[in-house]
Amino acid sequence: METQSIRFYYRGRVHEVTDQPTTRTVLQYLREDLGRTGTKEGCAEGDCGACTVLVAEPDGHGGVAIRAVNSCIQFLPTLDGKALLTVEDLRQPDGSLHPVQQAMVDCHGSQCGFCTPGFVMSMWGMYLEHEPGARAPSRTEINDALSGNLCRCTGYQPIIRAAGEMLSYPHVPFDRAALTKILGTLSRDNIFTYEVAGHVFHAPRTVAQLAELRMQYPQARLLAGSTDVGLWVTKQFRDLPHLIYIGQVEALREIEQQADGYLNIGAGASLNDAYDALVTHYPEFAELRQRFASFPIRNAGTLGGNVANGSPIGDSMPALIALGTRIVLRRGERVREMPLEDFYLAYQKSALEAGEFVQGMRVPLALADQQFRTYKISKRFDQDISAVCAAFAVSLDPEGVVRRARFSFGGVAATPCRAPAAEQTVLGQAWDEQHVRLAMQALTADFKPLTDMRASDAYRMKAAQNVLYRFYLETAPGTPLTTRQVSTAVLADIA
């Protein structure tokens, strides 16, 4: 396959790039090559939001999807066929400020100004979601949209106020139709191939093309949302000579409720889209969704990437395993599936064979009598890595006896795992304090947590036991406590 140029739309024209390394980040290119320094660099690892930009791409339904992402961890060739919007695009033709900027000025939302371009880009992303005259976003929506932006001097209150008021200014329209047309001219029918200095970037369009490329180049690294892989380059300086990018395979982004009682989530569905679908069926996912990374990371990152990466502290797996999710793997023409817990063999070792990739996940839809909860234990509420992440699902028969129990944990072993000894302790028994206390003890036979900078082994074990107890308090037959009541009861106990 011959090399092609990266083509993307930015600041009124199509840019064609032929000479940049395959892992050059969008941020590096903006600042160092185009001299567009409005977009800032803080952490270069997706944490601070100073580098936030908007990326527009076809939404698969004849329109465009515009999403805020962290440009510091996105590789330039992933922009092929897309449009890039940066803080420079906010400037109005008559030189006046865009409402998101004017609201920041009027609400005193900026001091040193370093974080401001990132904040206004996240706010612009939210602004574009609202039609003229729409109701102002709620405090929860604003907090979520700004969860990936850090400010060290202004304080968040004025910024949140600005986000709440930006829609009250005279509306500035955005020409989605024109952008759709432009993106149409950039679309490709076939695999995109970009090669520089012996480094290759492939972007297939279809699942069949992906399957073929993966078989042909089993040693190549798959790239999805780049929220793990991007850091291998910006923080670990790893060399990635061959990338196969799955972000252009539209079919992998599909999320579908199947007649067989499963929710099928394509491996390329963004974390935000996947969690939105999961929350529809399991409202208990809502807090985990909100606390998983930040809004822009969830825009770029995929559920497939989280599951495939298989980090012992990945947040999606405990919940998916507790629900009985099956993972769908494809190698060439062969498609096979297995329970997600069987996919993880050892630390950073999965059941993926050479030439195979994750095609999707199949999540069983809510069982009428199932109680399900997830718990993420971390030092901060937003944008933090779990010390322990747990999920529990139990089904009781009419007498209150446990018919089905699936307890699943992250952060306590080398892989995401179930807790068979604890599950066996409650199976066939009354769902009561005595058996739950025994199950808490049994967890010590299920895993031996490690000590690291996030938490000690003892803390992790205690936390794992306590969230199981919490689950019981929230689901005890006849007298379940609400989340708030559990907190009050625990605090009273400590006092």
Q: In the complex, which residues of this chain contact ligand FES (CB under 6 A)?
A: 41-44, 46-51, 70, 72, 110-116, 151-154
User: Could you say whether residue 204 binds ligand FAD (CB under 6 A)?
Assistant: no
The torsion angles phi and psi of 336, rounded to 5 degrees, stand at: -135, 160
Contacts of 361 (CB under 8 A, 6+ apart): 264, 265, 267, 303, 304, 307, 320, 325, 326, 327, 328, 340
Q: Which stretch binds ligand FAD (CB under 6 A): 20-28, 109-117, 137-145, 290-298?
A: 290-298
Integer Cα distance of 454 and 388 in angstroms: 10
112 binds, among ligand FES, ligand FAD, none (CB under 5 to 8 A by kind): ligand FES
293 binds, among ligand FAD, ligand FES, none (CB under 5 to 8 A by kind): ligand FAD
- The H-or-E segment that residue 40 falls in is none
Instruction: Give the residue from 326, 301, 330 showing the smallest Cα distance to 315.
Output: 301
Contacts of 12 (CB under 8 A, 6+ apart): none
For residue 334, list its beta bridge partners: 331
User: Which of 302, 370, 415, 425 lies at the binding interface for ligand FAD (CB under 6 A)?
Assistant: 302
Residues numbered 13 to 42 that lie near ligand FAD (CB under 6 A) are: none
Asked if residues 140 and 164 have their Cβ atoms less than 8 Å apart, the reply is no
Identify the DSSP state of 10.
Answer: E
User: Could you say whether residue 228 binds ligand FAD (CB under 6 A)?
Assistant: yes
Integer Cα distance of 25 and 329 in angstroms: 30
User: Could you say whether residue 47 binds ligand FAD (CB under 6 A)?
Assistant: yes
Integer Cα distance of 101 and 88 in angstroms: 12
User: Which of 101, 306, 371, 425 lies at the binding interface for ligand FAD (CB under 6 A)?
Assistant: 306
Contacts of 121 (CB under 8 A, 6+ apart): 39, 52, 53, 54, 68, 85, 86, 87
Residue for token pair 């739309």: 9
Integer Cα distance of 4 and 16 in angstroms: 9
| 296 burial type by CB count under 10 A (0-12 exposed, 13-18 middle, 19+ buried) | buried
Residue nearest ligand FAD (C-beta atom): 305
Integer Cα distance of 53 and 39 in angstroms: 8
Tell me how many residues contact ligand FAD (CB under 6 A).
31
Asked if residues 221 and 309 have their Cβ atoms less than 8 Å apart, the reply is no
**CA distances from residue 375 to 291, 372, 396, 466, 487 in whole angstroms, order as listed:** 10, 10, 21, 11, 13
Write down the least CB distance from residue 413 to ligand FAD, Å: 15
User: Could you say whether residue 305 binds ligand FAD (CB under 6 A)?
Assistant: yes
Paired tokens of 385 = 């890595």
User: Could you say whether residue 267 binds ligand FAD (CB under 6 A)?
Assistant: yes
User: Which of 20, 206, 209, 309 lies at the binding interface for ligand FAD (CB under 6 A)?
Assistant: 309
User: Could you say whether residue 246 binds ligand FAD (CB under 6 A)?
Assistant: yes
Q: What is the 3-state secondary structure (H, E, C) of 197-234?
A: CCEEEEECCCHHHHHHHHHHCCCCEEECCCCCHHHHHH
225 binds, among ligand FAD, ligand FES, none (CB under 5 to 8 A by kind): ligand FAD
468 binds, among ligand FAD, ligand FES, none (CB under 5 to 8 A by kind): none
227 binds, among ligand FES, ligand FAD, none (CB under 5 to 8 A by kind): ligand FAD
User: Could you say whether residue 292 binds ligand FAD (CB under 6 A)?
Assistant: yes
For residue 64, list its beta bridge partners: 58
Q: Which stretch binds ligand FAD (CB under 6 A): 6-14, 78-86, 198-206, 297-305?
A: 297-305
User: Could you say whether residue 271 binds ligand FAD (CB under 6 A)?
Assistant: yes
Q: Which is nearer to ligand FES, 45 or 457 (CB)?
A: 45
User: Which of 167, 222, 278, 455 lies at the binding interface for ligand FAD (CB under 6 A)?
Assistant: 222
Q: Which is nearer to ligand FAD, 66 or 308 (CB)?
A: 308
306 binds, among ligand FES, ligand FAD, none (CB under 5 to 8 A by kind): ligand FAD
- The H-or-E segment that residue 475 falls in is helix 457-475
Write down the least CB distance from residue 2 to ligand FAD, Å: 25
The torsion angles phi and psi of 489, rounded to 5 degrees, stand at: -60, -45
User: Could you say whether residue 297 binds ligand FAD (CB under 6 A)?
Assistant: yes
Write down the least CB distance from residue 67 to ligand FES, Å: 15
User: Which of 56, 213, 229, 240 lies at the binding interface for ligand FAD (CB under 6 A)?
Assistant: 229
User: Could you say whether residue 278 binds ligand FAD (CB under 6 A)?
Assistant: no
User: Which of 76, 293, 442, 467 lies at the binding interface for ligand FAD (CB under 6 A)?
Assistant: 293
**Interaction site with ligand FAD (CB under 6 A):** 45-47, 221-229, 231, 246, 267, 271, 292-293, 297, 301-302, 304-306, 308-309, 314-315, 357-358, 383
